[in-house]
């Protein structure tokens, strides 16, 4: 069936499968259990991860909805050891400054159960570092600036799908946000319209990896309901 033209743009039919209620429950519960098993990992092995798996995760992330379908994200994937080493040095320097003066005592206390500090050796251990850059604006074919809408929201959704895709493939990561992050644009030679948002180390968990034994909030703590009669 040819596309339908609306307001000068092509539209195609869309009718996703409507599952029976029991199947919906089954699929939803399976996904919940799968995602609930995900943890942020800081102990990795250097075992290689094929590029195609990282590509798949980026493709999955790019299915995210975005403001006016601008898809205002760039995922920069690095496996080059020299570049990873530069990133580690710069990230640790910013993190050291944060832990030694920028961060409040309350913030440091909140991080204590996670066992984090300014040292990030995993940045050189993992086979891949992926940096998500938010495109603050785009460029039209004639070189003029094109406005992007809801950039942070769009990139945040894409980041979540990226993490979920990695977990589905048996890979591990964490969301690392050294602040400030300007060094990433410098090292990776990104254009002025892009701003680093999240750094993801990507790899396999070490056999002796440990994660904090933390509980997630109950549904009642993260939701409010207004139901009809």
CATH architecture group of domain 43-205: 3-Layer(aba) Sandwich (3.40)
CA–CA gap between residue 67 and residue 56 (Å, rounded): 22
- DSSP code of residue 180: S
Rounded average pLDDT over 60-73 = 97
Where do the structural domains in the chain lie, given as residue ranges?
43-205
- Using DSSP, state whether 158 is helix, strand or coil: helix
Looking at residue 7, its pLDDT comes to 87
Contacts of 122 (CB under 8 A, 6+ apart): 42, 43, 44, 201
pTM for the complete prediction? 0.94
- DSSP code of residue 216: P
> Percent of the chain having pLDDT more than 90?
86
């Amino acid at each position: 069936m040819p596309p339908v033209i609306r307001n000068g743009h092509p539209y195609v039919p869309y009718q996703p499968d409507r599952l029976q209620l029991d199947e919906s429950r089954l699929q939803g519960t399976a996904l919940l259990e799968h995602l609930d098993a995900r943890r942020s990992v800081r102990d990795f092995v250097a075992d290689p991860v094929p590029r195609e798996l990282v590509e798949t995760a980026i493709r999955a992330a790019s299915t995210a909805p975005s403001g006016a379908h601008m898809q205002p994200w760039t995922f920069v994937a690095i496996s080059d050891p020299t570049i990873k080493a530069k990133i580690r040095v710069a990230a640790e320097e910013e993190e050291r400054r944060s832990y030694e003066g920028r961060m409040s005592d309350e913030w440091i206390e909140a991080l204590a159960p996670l066992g984090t500090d300014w040292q990030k050796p995993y940045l050189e251990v993992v086979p891949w570092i992926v940096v998500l850059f938010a495109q603050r604006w785009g460029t039209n074919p004639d070189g003029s600036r094109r406005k992007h809408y809801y950039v942070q929201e769009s990139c945040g959704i894409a980041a979540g799908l990226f993490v979920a895709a990695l977990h589905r493939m048996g890979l591990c990561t964490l969301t690392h946000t050294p602040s400030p992050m300007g060094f990433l644009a410098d090292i990776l030679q990104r254009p002025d319209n892009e701003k680093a948002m999240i750094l993801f180390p990507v790899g396999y968990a070490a056999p002796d990896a440990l994660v904090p034994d933390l509980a997630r909030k109950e549904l009642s703590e993260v939701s409010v309901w207004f139901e009809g009669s």
